[in-house]
Amino acid sequence: MGILDSKIPSGPLADKWTKHKNDIDLVNPANKRNIDVIVVGTGLAGGAAAATLAELGYNVKTFCYQDSPRRAHSIAAQGGINAAKNYQGDGDSHYRLFYDTIKGGDYRSREANVYRLAEESVNIIDQCVAQGVPFAREYGGLLDNRSFGGVLVSRTFYAKGQTGQQLLLGAYAAMNRQINRGKIKAYNRHEMMDLVLVDGKARGIIARDLVSGEIQRHSAHAVVLATGGYGNVFFLSTNAMGSNVTAAWRAHRKGAFFANPCYTQIHPTCIPVSGEHQSKLTLMSESLRNDGRIWVPKRKEDAVAIREGKLKPTQLAEEERDYYLERRYPAFGNLVPRDVASRAAKERCDAGFGVNKTGEAVYLDFASAIDRYGKEKALTSGIKNPDNETIIKLGEEVIEAKYGNLFQMYEKIVDENPYKTPMMIYPAVHYTMGGLWVDYNLQTTIEGCYCAGEANFSDHGANRLGASALMQGLADGYFVLPYTIGDYLSDDIRTGAIPTDSEEFEAAEKAVRDRMGKLMSGTGIHSVDYYHKKLGKIMWNKCGMSRNENDLKEAIKEISALRKDFWENVKIPGSKDSKNQELEKAGRVADFMELGELFAKDALHRNESCGGHFREEYQTEEGEALRDDKNFKYVAAWEFKGEPKDAELHKEDLVYENIELKTRSYK
Amino acid sequence: MKLYLKIWRQKDASSKGQMVDYTLDGVEGDMSFLEMLDILNEELISKGEEPVEFDHDCREGICGTCSLQINGEPHGPDRLITTCQLHMRKFNDGDTIVIEPFRAKAFPVIKDLIVDRNAFERIQQAGGYISVNTSGNTVDANAIPINKDAADAAMDAATCIGCGACVAACKNASAMLFTSAKVSQFALLPQGQVEAADRVQNMVRQMDLEGFGNCTNTGACEVECPKGISLENIARMNREYLSATVKG
């Protein structure tokens, strides 16, 4: 156990972070100029960290595979960002945000980390407004809020349905200011190929220039990985096509423990799969559940008729519909947390009530919201006795103002008008709570290698609440890491620049070149995507929304066999010394295959159901998750031992001093 | 449906490119345009040929990575969408589709359909930000109420995804719509006022240095913009620029 020291500061929960900030060593401004930091990934966590570290005076190098930091996938976050501002006066506080997050995470996250997150949440909003992020406002000029799943207050700040975009552009603007000052050197269209350790410390990376194919050595005193989640291990997910686990996995192979890989968030409201050609899935923001009601037909024959195109959903009367979330969870209704909503949708579809041709979709219906808003708008506009048509027109205007871009996106993809007929949705892989294990300072088990944002495991436990990913990414990047990393770097003020001609860099570069050579030598006929899709199918069918022992054991065998086939046969045209998108994908898929195996192993060992991890063997008679706090109240951190299946488990026991462990109930 | 594709192939920045013909069968209306190209690439790989390289990432119209000039229009025939949101139901069986990279002197081709848009990066680095440090001690977010109309207009300008369609649509390859959207977002907000004069002058100077053309008010950029960025932003930037220059 001694190997995992979470370094949580002593003292009362609410004082830990302040006390810690006062206790840690600082680096004086003149010395910061002599210290280099590499930040890999430029989304919210990486972009914010890079900008802040550069402001502080460190020399920062950023790396991203995209052609601009602004394109990192944080940009696609739609709904909003939580903060315990209590602007609505509905009783919100640091404690409530902390409590909701721990409960939402099904009691599998660290108290101290989550409390710090709740404290910093308020600073994020102040900071972003100062940077010019155009959050939505009310007519009085003050900031507007909406509510999200799993909570009973309105604490979500938003910028239309493009909150992630606006926050990322804010962090990117902060980066640009530092690039202009020469404090950040941005390496875009560059991919981290491996981490370089010197005397056991992270001292640099091997990168590949994706345009020229050149392999480069970059050294630094510390390396920050902010490279996002690994949802694309499922092939189909709401992640960007390029999102990958490679940086985190390369660090894992060099000694960083990988924590809770099986905690995956399957988001309930995504556009259903339309066919085999599908390359990715599109999310419809959770904010839609504020106003949309989820249902399937009450009678199976109606569902069949709808699937066959003989019946339209609008033809079904109120009493012929099963609003199953409202039925099962009257207190939270359509706003239950994501894992609960996803499983409930799967349950109805598996029982034969699905509403699209594949039988894997449920309705998200805005008709009652349109009616309600229409009547309200008519009243405030002074229209007396409005007819139905006027009400619908006014109501649709309100819905358009709130969710217009989402409705447009839906219509373009599905070719149906969601104002007139209910949306069809189905759960899809969206976010991964697991990631590299980090201590309170966000340091991995490799000295000098830090990890922030979705790439680490720290704050969301077994399930993340809506509008919390943006909050965590920015808290880590702007307000946590720039402080905590100073404590480590304060020992490096006399070290001087790290040379790149050492044996360690030499060996790391050679390993990268050899691996690429091996990938290019495949003799078979199948492309990288062929293997990626196969991996995705195994993951979705056997490690997806619900899992069981038998399936997981099979998954491990199947992935292992697929991996062998891939390394012998994958076909990659072109050369490794120039732009080659197939080679880029191949390196990422190779790492996904190893991760997939560890993922299944982790899911297999966790004999309980909690949050996003649902084991069929562990459920109540009503089909709710059955957690086992006695045996599994710990973080599973895996140490790499040569093969994913040989990974060694280390446990970090989770201690709850401020919250009583309860069975999560949203009824 | 069966499609006849004419696609720009170019090995690298220093090589000469050319249009190459491909025939693709079995395309369905529910496929996105990029999924159609995925299928073409799978066929090419199975034949041992190099796939067509194109930029793409989020595939949901927000990251701004995808580009493509399709039948002469940036992001293809549909309105208010990016190429990744274009679906094949907009085409008919037997259609010929011409696919080229975005064409502009300031956007050199890297390979096939991929162009280098770093010029946009440098324009933003020249002043597209508000100089505020991360401290945790900025004033409370609600300390300065902002008129809702101004906030909404700033948001509309900030919606720009930096894809470059405006440049590709413009006969002069002007970057005025892009640059003005960035200038406008900050010009419309009280936080942006302090540096407003320097910002607009520096960003416009960089835009000119990059070799973008001039604006002749044709308005093609506004029509082709996937995010509906308005020409009003260009007018606003011109006012900002004039007032900054006059004030010195």
- Is there a contact between A52 and A224 (Cβ–Cβ < 8 Å)? no
DSSP state of A239: S
**Which chain B residues touch A482 with a CB distance below 8 Å?**
134
Which contiguous run of DSSP H or E holds residue A552?
helix A549-569
**Which chain B residues touch A279 with a CB distance below 8 Å?**
32, 34-35, 38, 59
pLDDT in tens, A295-349: 999 999 999 999 999 999 999 999 999 999 999 999 999 999 898 999 999 999 9
ipTM over 0.90? The verdict is yes
Given a cut of 50, whether residue A290 has pLDDT beyond it is yes
Residues B148 and B65 in one domain: no
Burial (Cβ within 10 Å: 0-12, 13-18, ≥19) of residue A355: buried
Residues of A catalogued as catalytic: 338
Residues B68 and B175 in one domain: no
Q: Where is the domain boundary, B110, B129, B150?
A: B110
- Percent over 70 (pLDDT), chain A: 100
Please compute, for residue A449, the number of CA atoms within 13 A of its CA located in the half-sphere on the CB side.
33
CA end-to-end span of chain A: 38
Q: Is B159 on the interface with A (CB under 8 A)?
A: yes
pLDDT at A383: 92
pLDDT in tens, B180-232: 999 999 999 999 999 999 999 999 999 999 999 999 999 999 999 999 999 99
**Which chain B residues touch A483 with a CB distance below 8 Å?**
none
- Is there a contact between B193 and B166 (Cβ–Cβ < 8 Å)? no
pLDDT at B42: 97
- Is there a contact between A606 and A262 (Cβ–Cβ < 8 Å)? yes
The set of residues, in sequence order, having a beta carbon less than 8 Å from that of A612 and lying 6+ positions away, is: A263, A264, A265, A266, A339, A433, A462, A463
pLDDT in tens, B152-192: 999 999 999 999 999 999 999 999 999 999 999 999 999 99
With b for 16 or more beta-carbon neighbours within 10 A and e for fewer, the B149-185 pattern comes to ebbbbbbbbbbbbbbbbbbbbbeebbbbbbbbbbbbb
pLDDT in tens, B67-120: 999 999 999 999 999 999 999 999 999 999 999 999 999 999 999 999 999 999
CB contact under 8 A, A240 and B132: no
Q: Is B24 on the interface with A (CB under 8 A)?
A: no
Its domain, for residue B53, covers 3-110
- Is there a contact between A48 and A127 (Cβ–Cβ < 8 Å)? no
**Which chain A residues touch B127 with a CB distance below 8 Å?**
180
State the Rg of chain B over Cα: 20
CB contact under 8 A, B57 and A66: yes
pLDDT at A402: 84
Given a cut of 70, whether residue A2 has pLDDT beyond it is no
In the structure encoding, which two tokens stand for residue A37, read together?
């930091």
* CATH number for the domain formed by residue range(s) A268-428: 3.90.700.10
* Residue B179, amino acid: T
pLDDT at B248: 64
3-state secondary structure of B90: helix
Q: What is the CATH number of the domain that holds B228?
A: 1.10.1060.10
pLDDT at A623: 86
Q: Beta strand A59-63 with A184-187: parallel, antiparallel or unpaired?
A: parallel
> Between residues 181 and 220 of chain B, which touch chain A (CB distance below 8 Å)?
185-186, 189, 191-192
Query: CA A657, CA A659: separation in Å to the nearest integer?
Result: 6
A263: closest CA among A644, A634, A561, A590?
A: A634
3-state secondary structure of B217: coil
Q: Which of A129, A180, A413 sits opposite B125 (nearest CB)?
A: A180
> Between residues 285 and 344 of chain A, which touch chain B (CB distance below 8 Å)?
none
Strand-pairing partners, residue A137, are A143
Model confidence, pTM: 0.97
* Mean pLDDT across chain A: 96
A245: closest CA among A457, A67, A79?
A: A457
Query: CA B36, CA B97: separation in Å to the nearest integer?
Result: 12
Which of A331-340, A515-524, A537-546, A641-650 shows the lowest mean pLDDT across its residues? A331-340
**Which chain B residues touch A274 with a CB distance below 8 Å?**
30
Interface test with B, best of A44, A71, A155, A476 (most B CBs within 10 A): A71
Query: CA B138, CA A170: separation in Å to the nearest integer?
Result: 15
How many Å lie between the alpha carbon of B94 and the closest alpha carbon of chain A?
20
**Which chain A residues touch B114 with a CB distance below 8 Å?**
579
Query: CA A37, CA A53: separation in Å to the nearest integer?
Result: 8
Query: CA A511, CA A516: separation in Å to the nearest integer?
Result: 9
Given a cut of 50, whether residue A15 has pLDDT beyond it is yes
Interface test with A, best of B30, B60, B65, B85 (most A CBs within 10 A): B60
Query: CA A55, CA A184: separation in Å to the nearest integer?
Result: 9
- Is there a contact between A539 and A551 (Cβ–Cβ < 8 Å)? no
What number of other Cβ atoms are within 10 A of residue A7's Cβ? 14
Give the Å distances, CA to CA, from A564 to A411, A481, A513, A593. 42, 39, 20, 10
A435: closest CA among A449, A453, A423?
A: A453
DSSP state of A646: G
pLDDT: which is higher, A161 or A390: A390
In the structure encoding, which two tokens stand for residue A478, read together?
């702007």
Which contiguous run of DSSP H or E holds residue A230?
none
Query: CA A108, CA A118: separation in Å to the nearest integer?
Result: 17
Instruction: Please report the number of interchain residue pairs, chain A to chain B, with beta-carbon separation below 8 angstroms.
Output: 213
pLDDT in tens, A442-498: 999 999 999 999 999 999 999 999 999 999 999 999 999 999 999 999 999 999 999
> Between residues 101 and 120 of chain A, which touch chain B (CB distance below 8 Å)?
120
pLDDT in tens, A165-200: 999 999 999 999 999 999 999 999 999 999 999 999
> Between residues 68 and 107 of chain B, which touch chain A (CB distance below 8 Å)?
78, 80-81, 85, 87, 89
- What architecture (CATH level 2) is domain A502-632? Up-down Bundle (1.20)
Query: CA A171, CA A47: separation in Å to the nearest integer?
Result: 6
Q: How confident is the model at residue A359 (pLDDT cuts 50, 70, 90)?
A: very high
Phi-psi region of A220 (alpha: psi -120 to 50; beta: other; left: phi over 0): beta
Q: Is A87 on the interface with B (CB under 8 A)?
A: yes
Residues B73 and B92 in one domain: yes
Number of domains observed in the structure of chain B = 2
Domain boundaries, chain A: 268-428, 502-632
Query: CA A506, CA A524: separation in Å to the nearest integer?
Result: 31
pLDDT at B52: 98
Q: What angle do CA A573, A575, A580 make, to 5 degrees?
A: 75
Place of tokens 């949306």: A423
CB contact under 8 A, B145 and A140: yes
Residues B122 and B67 in one domain: no
CB contact under 8 A, B140 and A68: no
**Which chain B residues touch A142 with a CB distance below 8 Å?**
142, 145
Q: What is the CATH number of the domain that holds B99?
A: 3.10.20.30
Q: What angle do CA A655, A661, A662 make, to 5 degrees?
A: 165
Place of tokens 């990047």: A477
Mean pLDDT of all residues in A430-439: 98
A264: closest CA among A348, A164, A361, A339?
A: A339
CB contact under 8 A, A130 and B64: no
Dihedral sign of CA atoms A64, A447, A175, A406 in order: positive
pLDDT at A79: 85
Q: Where is the domain boundary, B85, B110, B135?
A: B110
In the structure encoding, which two tokens stand for residue A597, read together?
């195996």
Query: CA A230, CA A451: separation in Å to the nearest integer?
Result: 14
Burial (Cβ within 10 Å: 0-12, 13-18, ≥19) of residue B126: buried
What number of other Cβ atoms are within 10 A of residue A205's Cβ? 29
DSSP state of A477: I
